[in-house]
Amino acid sequence: MKIELATMQVTTDDGRFLKTLHCPKDKEWKELHSLKSTTGRYCDHCECTVHDTTGMSDNELVELLHRDPKACLAISPTQSNCTVIP
């Protein structure tokens, strides 16, 4: 995946648009509640799961966002499966 920091747009490595990241509550990963059954965390404010993308392939991200276009994603610019575009 690629993330363009100026626009916060996330695309696949081959350039397919996935999502624009925006968190109205601006929560940090450590502020979210751990979930035992998933690799995500729960946000009390939005009442939704934030999905950890660290181990996800582009295809897995596409599938997730196809099932739930409003899914929240946690992406770190330092994760190995992410290319940062300044």
Q: Indicate the domain borders of the chain.
A: 2-85
Q: Is 40 exposed, middle or buried (0-12, 13-18, 19+ CB in 10 A)?
A: buried
The tens digit of pLDDT for each residue in 42-72 reads 999 888 999 999 989 999 999 999 999 999 9
The residue among 55, 61, 64, 70 whose CA lies nearest residue 10 is: 61
> Each residue of 6-43: pLDDT tens digit?
999 999 999 999 999 988 888 888 999 998 877 899 99
